Structure 1
């Protein structure tokens, strides 16, 4: 049942990625056409960023597709880790877009350039905001539903990008009022905002790659195990994410003369109790150790 849930979650993730990719790609193409005609550095920076956002869908798409494959004798935990690697690729793509934005904006600030068609630039900026907000809502809602930290983070990133698209309006307004220098300055401001996103996005990705779990995860497993009447004490708890599924290992001390029947269903009851607080918990490996006199 849990495997079927994981497959359905991956399918939902793929659908969300496909739709958000289409929305952001169309938005970026429209913005690029206006940016090339108008010469707006701010809009070009925002366009490069939106192209980067669209490309972040590709590693996520591949990761969700891989996660549907069953475990094998060589990949005994399955392929869920591909989702965490996709998160690292996303951070790299965002960083590349920041470098492109910064270079183009600095060049136009030093060499000077005018902005043509400020009204069209403003409309393109509004389109960028709308496209990013639509993609953000789709990714965040699906990501929260299936428990994908990578998809939620990518959606929050898209929402922030929508705000940077609105900042392009300031560059258009400056050009319309006769201050074209505002445009590359806004482009540099967008670059700084993207670098801030890189930093914030890298933190959760790094934590997942290093097998970190959220505060309260270990405590929830300890409390669930301690609540079992057969458990005398909890000795060790380990947990880690593989994609959008949580895996755990729990070692407990049990009564030395515990009947085999009660011992057999202890793991299932522990998993059921823990999932009340950890709904994305896929499986728990329970290691019951009989309590012997003299054991520490």
Structure 2
């Protein structure tokens, strides 16, 4: 079975940005926990809880990032490249768990609102916006290229938005005495967490399950490869993401003629160019065949 891949320029994800974000979030977590206890604000404590979950998720993302850079070995032939997918999936799940906890706490407090020291809430919310906003800016570019970084980025982005919600609630409590707003804001934060987590869980699950990427049409792949002279039929096809950067295709290629291996190498190079340029598939594993009797369906259950 011939294997080939295309070397492409990869965006270099910077792990140090995760380290900076971890330190910033530890700072705001401690400040909000102390401030929430003193002020009696559930929204502030819930925001601190979310921040602490972010610290854990960022540490997990950092470890996964370090693991993914390890080289392949005899025992780990793919290395640890899927570690970041696992991290992204777990981080998304933690967002859901935190959100459900906040829904429960907000519903309980909504029917029993308590006086809250809104001044402290306002200042700590402003601190949260500044710190989380800085972390968001650090990870924004990396999040566009890496699912693990996107999960960390979403944690921080929702933290920043949560701090905005806490600030609005603090202002309404200060000027209008609407203490029930604290619970409402907590509920809104929780619902938003669930909303942003859904797509992340879906994307990570599809990659972990080796599903065909949404943007890949297998039939279109076949049509393009069949245009190449010397190809009889591409079949027994598998297409999957190893990680965010590597898109693999494995298939059998039935040749039109009984050609030499050197001639097949030329044919393979043409197939590789088509798959990369039209579908961004950069790792190709092809088994050559000529009139071999086996299933010729595009998709065959192994």
Q: For this structure pair, what is the TM-score category when the shorter chain's length is used for normalisation?
A: 0.7 to 0.9
CA deviations 1:251-270 (Å, max 9, x no partner) are: 22212232321212443443
- Say if 2:213 is the partner of 1:214: yes
C-alpha change, 1:90 and 1:293, in structure 2 (3 Å) is closer
TM-score (norm 1): 0.82
Q: What is the total number of aligned residue pairs between the two structures?
A: 290
Q: Structure 2: 5+ residue runs without aligned partners?
A: 297-302
Q: Return the alpha-carbon distance in structure 2 between the equivalents of residues 175 and 293 of structure 1.
A: 76
Aligned Cα RMSD in Å?
3.2
Q: 1:148 matched to which residue of 2?
A: 146
Q: Structure 1: 5+ residue runs without aligned partners?
A: none
Q: Return the alpha-carbon distance in structure 1 between the equivalents of residues 284 and 189 of structure 2.
A: 45
C-alpha change, 1:295 and 1:204, in structure 2 (3 Å) is closer
Is residue 5–residue 272 contact of structure 2 (8 Å, CA) maintained in 1?
A: no
- Say if 2:167 is the partner of 1:169: yes
Q: Which structure is higher in RCO with an 8 Å CA cutoff and minimum separation 6? A: 2
- Say if 2:68 is the partner of 1:67: yes
Q: 1:253 matched to which residue of 2?
A: 254
Q: 1:132 matched to which residue of 2?
A: 132
Q: How does 1:75-94 map to 2 (within 5 A)?
A: 75-94=76-95
Is residue 93–residue 201 contact of structure 2 (8 Å, CA) maintained in 1?
A: no
Q: By how many angstroms is 1:282 displaced?
A: 4.5
Q: 1:158 matched to which residue of 2?
A: 156
Q: 2:191 matched to which residue of 1?
A: 192
Q: 1:102 matched to which residue of 2?
A: 103
Q: By how many angstroms is 1:172 displaced?
A: 0.6
C-alpha change, 1:120 and 1:278, in structure 2 (3 Å) is farther
Q: 1:120 matched to which residue of 2?
A: 120
Q: 2:299 matched to which residue of 1?
A: none
Q: Return the alpha-carbon distance in structure 1 between the equivalents of residues 262 and 205 of structure 2.
A: 42
Q: Return the alpha-carbon distance in structure 2 between the equivalents of residues 224 and 61 of structure 1.
A: 40
Q: 1:19 matched to which residue of 2?
A: 20
CA deviations 1:218-272 (Å, max 9, x no partner) are: 4474455335333233223211122322222122221223232121244344334
Q: By how many angstroms is 1:138 displaced?
A: 3.2
TM-score (norm 2): 0.81
Is residue 61–residue 84 contact of structure 2 (8 Å, CA) maintained in 1?
A: yes
C-alpha change, 1:5 and 1:48, in structure 2 (3 Å) is farther
Q: 1:231 matched to which residue of 2?
A: 231
Q: Return the alpha-carbon distance in structure 1 between the equivalents of residues 95 and 52 of structure 2.
A: 10
Q: 2:45 matched to which residue of 1?
A: 44
